[in-house]
Amino acid sequence: MAGKPGTTPTTYSPSPTTQKTRRPIFNENDVDWVRPDGRGFHQCRPAFFRTGAVNAASGSAYAEFGNTKVIVSVFGPRESKKAMMYSDIGRLNCSVSHTTFATPVRGQGSEHKDFSSMLHKSLEGAIILETFPKTTVDVFALVLESGGSDLPVVISCASLALADAGILMHDLVASVSLSCLGKNLVIDPILEEESYQDGGLLITCMPSRYEVTQLTVTGEWSTPKINEGMQLCLDACSKLAKIMRSCLKEATSTSQE
Amino acid sequence: MEEAAAAAEAVVVTPGEVLGKASQVRAGRGAYVAPHNNLVYASLTGFRRTLSPPPNSPDQRPTVEVTGHKAHGAVPEPGSVVIARVTRVTARVASADIMCVGPKSVREKFTGSIRTWAGGSIFGEEEVSLAIKKMNGDKAPGSYGFDIAFLPKMLRSGQSRGEVAIGLLCKRQQDVRATEIDKVDMHLSFRPGDIIRAVVLSLGDARAYYLSTAKNELGVVSAESTAGETMVPISWTEMQCPLTGQIEQRKVAKVGG
């Protein structure tokens, strides 16, 4: 389309949006959300961990947070596939899948590719890969029942399984997620709360070193809310890490006897 | 051998727990130093042990280590002695499946290979020197161009000439022309199915670890004859089947003593 010299070419540009945002589910005048399981807004579900659940694997862990049940097996360090190129640090391979009965409506048990890559990102900062060159550590996570906040439970359980397998790590990895419902910040949301959320925040951190390995923010957030949310999550992560450590120590002392 | 005053405290530590300051303790097995704050953290789950430093070393910090309640499975490392089963033998390469690393067996096999052109991979330098010294020198000149008796004279005459002689026979690349390399026949050293003891030379390439049997105590430990019986070693290059009396050529490992 030859334009006359001196004129700017016409391009497509959308008109500025006005009032095109999603209708908020929670209006300002609405009654505050009451959590179906009776928890306070800043109260997490009771955490249950057990290591050594799978005999065939090098290391394994089972976690149960309310209705979210996850089992993770770790294999390795074992030989990388022949097709892989040589690497002088170790490799991490993660796979998260759901069982067919995990969701209320029966679904297909296929691998969740984006959960797998997020699990990979959260764990690779914590594992000391230089200690097992040329080999691969495989982490397989299976969500037995999806009751909300699946990925944080998978991440925490995976780090326990890695510790159980004896893989050298910088620190345990604890993960907590948080939802913003209207003006309330609700920690460790269940499935129903996640579907109503305006925004979601997932933090994975190494509590002893106070370092964050992964931060995922989705939806609408204002800066003060993000700050408050992050502080809440980091605090919850350090408390979760204490529970994880006591589980590992208990497993060690019972196996000694 | 200095006494390691190992104060075996029954304290269980988990990955990420602080074990001390880098200025006061040294990080041993299962521990690492974080560069940004100079603290020593644990990287494994296990029992914390403190070893006192050897009295003559300039560094008088005690070593703190975490002895695995559960360390990860054995992985071949350069310098470790492995037991492997030979899978494939060609003219220049023998492939083997590594089954044990040191005293521990591996969960899943690793692939290793023994190559002739790596310089003395099958027969080591001491073995060749011993063989040369026993030679009488009444044979026809080989393709080296001189009488074989020349070699013992070279050995006795001095260090550098002896090294050239060993280099010729051990096929070191800097001493030998390319056409000389294939003097050692793999089929006279190994057969598929033999159990060998070898040492890991290096991590190798993407497909296999590089192994070597270039010592007296390395080589074939157990082999089956074509008749199916376990053979008895009769010299360092021959094994005999007890059933048929047939003699087969192998590079035999000197076991015991």
The pLDDT score that the predictor gives to residue A19 is: 61
> Closest partner residue to A172 among B16, B111, B206, by Cβ?
B16
* Each residue's pLDDT tens digit, A151-178: 999 999 999 999 999 999 999 999 999 9
pLDDT at B179 over 50: no
At residue B106, the 3 state secondary structure works out as strand
| B96 and B131 housed in the same domain | no
Residue B74 counted as domain residue = no
Tell me: pLDDT of A138 over 50. Answer: yes
**Stronger pLDDT, B181 or A250, i.e. the higher one:** A250
Residues B89, B192: one domain? yes
Task: Please indicate, yes or no, if residue B256 is contained in any of the structural domains.
Answer: no
Chain B residues inside the 8 Å CB shell of A256: 69
Domain match, B111 and B197 both:
yes
Among B161, B183, B205, identify where a domain stops. Answer: B183
Residue B161: both structure tokens together: 């000439």
Q: Are residues B105 and B228 in the same domain?
A: yes
Grouping H, G, I as helix, E, B as strand and the rest as coil, residue B8 is strand
Residue B76: inside a domain, yes or no?
no
B56 burial via Cβ count (<10 Å: 0-12, 13-18, 19+):
exposed
The answer to whether residues B60 and B145 belong to one domain is: no
Residue A95 is predicted with a pLDDT of 95
pLDDT digits (tens, 9 = 90+) for B68-105: 777 778 889 899 999 999 999 988 889 999 999 999 88
pLDDT at residue B211, rounded to an integer: 92
Q: Do A128 and B203 touch (CB under 8 A)?
A: no
| Exposure string over A196-228, b if 16+ CB within 10 A, otherwise e | ebbbbbbbbbbbbbeebbbeeeeeebeeebbee
Average pLDDT over residues B146-166: 54
Nearest CA in chain A to B10: A253
| B33 shares its domain with B144 | no
Which structural domain, as residue segments, surrounds residue B240?
81-118+184-249
- Which residues does residue B222 pair with via DSSP β-bridges, in sequence order? B195
**Which amino acid makes up residue A45?**
R
Same-domain pairing of B112 and B136? no
pLDDT at B118 over 80: no
DSSP B161-206: HHHHHHHHHHT-TTTS-GGGGGGS-GGGT--TT-EEEEEEEE--SS
**Nearest chain A CA: its distance from B139 CA (Å):** 47
Write out chain B residues lying below 8 Å of A163, CB-based: 14-15, 44-45
Check whether residue B135 and residue B173 sit in a common domain.
yes
Q: Which of B16, B70, B207 sits opposite A209 (nearest CB)?
A: B16
Q: What is the mean pLDDT of residues B137-165?
A: 54
**In a domain? residue B203:** yes
**What residues of chain B lie within 8 A of the CB of A206, using their CB?**
16
Query: What's phi and psi for A116, nearest 5 deg?
Result: -65, -45
Residue carrying the six token digits 């951190």: A205
The helix-helix angle for A150-165 and A223-256 (nearest 10°) equals 30
d(CA B210, CA A160): 34
Contacts of A248 in chain B (CB under 8 A): 12, 14, 45
Whether residue B102 is contained in a domain is answered as: yes
- Report the number of distinct structural domains present in chain B: 3
Looking at B183, B199, B215, the residue that finishes a domain is B183
Instruction: Among A166, A172, A208, select the one facing B72 at the smallest CB separation.
Output: A166
Asked if residue A215 lies in contact with residue A202, where contact means CB atoms within 8 angstroms, the answer is yes
Cross-sheet strand order for the sheet of A91-98: A47-51, A59-65, A68-79, A135-145, A91-98
Give the CATH number of the domain where residue B46 resides. 2.40.50.100
Q: Which residues of A98-134 are buried (b: 16+ CB within 10 A; e: fewer)?
A: bbeebeeeeeeeeebeebbebbbbbbebbbebebbbb
- ipTM field: 0.81
pLDDT surpassing 60 at residue B175? no
Taking CA–CA distances from B67, the nearest residue in chain A reads: A166
Verify that B88 and B11 share a domain, yes or no. no
* Pairwise CB contact (< 8 Å): A82 & B207: yes
Binning pLDDT at 50, 70 and 90, where does residue B180 land?
A: very low
Lowest mean pLDDT among A105-109, A111-115, A201-205, B97-101: A105-109
Of B43, B45, B46, the CB nearest to A170: B43
Claim to verify: residue B242 and residue B217 sit in the same structural domain: yes
**Domain assignment present for B145:** yes
Residue B114, pLDDT above cutoff 80: yes
pLDDT surpasses 50 at A225: yes
Average pLDDT, chain A: 88
Flag whether B24 is in a domain.
yes
Is there a domain that residue B146 lies in?
A: yes
Statement to judge: residues B201 and B243 lie in one domain: yes
Nearest CA in chain A to B78: A133
Kindly state the percentage of chain B with pLDDT values over 90: 33
> In this predicted structure, what is the pLDDT of residue A209?
87
The pLDDT of residue A177: 95
Q: For residue B177, what pLDDT band results from cuts at 50, 70 and 90?
A: very low
pLDDT, residue B120, reads 46
> Looking at CA atoms only, how far is residue A119 from chain B in angstroms?
19
Question: What pLDDT does residue B146 have?
Answer: 53
State residue A180 phi and psi, 5-degree precision: -110, 115
Domain final residue pick, B135, B166, B183: B183
Q: Is A245 in contact with B14 (Cβ distance < 8 A)?
A: yes
List pLDDT tens digits, range B10-64. 789 999 999 989 888 888 888 999 988 889 999 999 999 888 888 777 778 888 8
Give dist(CA B195, CA A110) in Å, integer: 42
From A56-60, A73-77, A140-144, B180-184, the region with the lowest mean pLDDT: B180-184
pLDDT value at residue B245: 92
Sequence-ordered list of residues with C-beta below 8 angstroms from that of A13, at least 6 positions apart, any chain: none
Alpha helical stretches, state H, B11-158: 125-133, 150-157
Same domain? B114 vs B162: no
The mean pLDDT value for A126-133 works out to: 91
Beta carbons of A208 and B18 less than 8 Å apart? yes
